[in-house]
Amino acid sequence: MPDSQKYSGLGYWIGQFAFSALLAILGLAGGVYMLIDSGSENPSSSTGVGEGAIVLLVGIVFLLLLIWLIVSFVAQSRQQRAVYAWAIMQDYVSRNPGARATRPGRAVRGDIASMATAARARDGVLGYEEVLRLQALRPEVPYPGDLEALRLAAAAPSRIPDTPQERERRRAEWAADDGDARARLDAAGLGGPGLVHRTRLVTRVVGWAAVAAFLTSAWLKSPAPATTTFLALTGLWCVLRLVTGLLQDARTRRGRALAHAWLSEAEKSDRGLPTPFDEFFKTSLGAWWIRLLTPMALLGVFFLLGGLANIGRASDPVERVVFVGMACAAAGFFFASIALRIVAARRAAVDRDRLRAYRRGREALSSEDAETARRGA
C-alpha cells in the first residue's frame, strides 16, 4: 500500500488538541472575565471572585493537558504517532460501533488499558499476534507500522528457552540476580526512595498549601496577608522541587553506576538487567531542571493573565509599560517551559530504549508471559 494511504492518526491527535484547546480557552477567558467583572463597580452577573478562580483553574488544567499533548506529539516520530493513535482507535471504535475515529470522546480518555497497549505499540514492544488481534477489530484500517518486520521477528528463532524446565531455570537465575542487585543497592544506601521520597512528599504538601492560599486570597478579594502567604509558599515550592531534582539526580547517577558495573560482568550481562535497577533508567538525568518546568509554566500563566488583566487599569503610560513587560516576560517563561519539555520527553524516550536493550531476554519473556495470561483470562 502506498505510504500516502497509510493511517496517519492525525484525526485522533487533532481531536485531542481541539478538545483540550477549546476547554482551555473557555476556562481561561471565562475565568479572567469573571474575576474582572466581579471586581467592577457594576458587575453584569452574580458570580463572585471564587467562581472566577475555579473556572480559571479549570482552564489552566486543560492548558497543561494541551501542553502535555503537544510535547507527546512532537517527541514522537511520525510512525510512532500513527501507531499510538491506531492502537487506541482500533479498540475504541470496536467497543463503540458507529463512533468516528476523529472524535474519541470520553471512553478513550478514561480507558487506561487502551492507552497502555498503545504505548507498548508505539515503543515497538507489542507482539505480532497482539497487533493482529487489534487489526482484526477493524480490518479496513491497516496497521501503520512495519507489520512484516514484526512477523519476521516473531518467526525468527528465539533466544528465550522453549521448554518449561529451561524457563523455570532462567526465572530462578533472574530471581537470584534480583536478590544480588537488591543487596548491592542496600549496601550503597539505595534500597529505598529515602530522602527523595520524603522531600517529594513535603513538596506536594507545600504545593497544595499554595493552591489553598491562592483560592483564599481570591475568595477574600486578595488581601495582603493571603497574597503574601501564596507568594511565599510558591517560592518555597519551587525551591523544594529544585532540591528534590538535585537529590533525584544524585540517586540516579549512583544507581546507573551500579547497573553499568553489573552489565560489565560478562557471566551476568547476557541475562539482562535485574529488575531493581529499572527505576534508575525510568527517571532521566536532569531532574533538577525538569522539575522546574511545571513552576515555570504555572507562573508564566499567572503573571501573563495578571499583566493582561491590569493593562486596561493602568493609570499612566509607565505603569502600562510595566504590565506589558510583565506579560511578555511571563509568555517567554511559558513557551520556554514547553520547549524544554520537548527536550525532556525526547530524553525520556532514549532512556526507555536503553532500558529495553539492557533488559534483553527478560523483556521478551515478560511480554510472552503477559500474552499467555491475557489468553488464559
Distances (CA, A) of 304 to 31, 130, 312: 14, 47, 14
With beta carbons less than 8 A apart as the criterion, state whether 53 and 214 touch: yes
Cβ atoms < 10 Å from Cβ of 331: 16
Q: What is the pLDDT of residue 201?
A: 92
- What is the rounded average pLDDT for all residues in the chain? 76
Q: What is the pLDDT of residue 166?
A: 73
Cβ atoms < 10 Å from Cβ of 282: 11
Q: What is the pLDDT of residue 2?
A: 40
Q: What is the pLDDT of residue 247?
A: 92
Helices (H), the chain: 10-38, 49-75, 78-95, 105-110, 112-122, 128-137, 147-155, 164-187, 195-219, 224-263, 266-269, 279-282, 287-290, 293-311, 317-359, 361-376
Cβ atoms < 10 Å from Cβ of 224: 8
pLDDT surpassing 80 at residue 376: no
Task: Report the distance separating Cα 325 and Cα 70, nearest Å.
Answer: 27
Q: What is the pLDDT of residue 108?
A: 43
**Phi/psi at 236 (5° precision):** -65, -40
- For every residue of 129-163, DSSP letters joined together read HHHHHHHHHSTTS--SS-HHHHHHHHHSPPSS--S
Place of cell 534500597: 191
Span of 50-59, 236-245, 319-328 with lowest mean pLDDT: 319-328
CA nearest to 83, candidates 144, 146, 4: 144
Q: What is the pLDDT of residue 177?
A: 84
pLDDT surpassing 80 at residue 66: yes
pLDDT surpassing 80 at residue 232: yes
20 burial class (0-12, 13-18, 19+ CB within 10 angstroms)?
buried
Q: What is the pLDDT of residue 226?
A: 73
pLDDT-derived band at 315 (thresholds 50, 70, 90) equals low
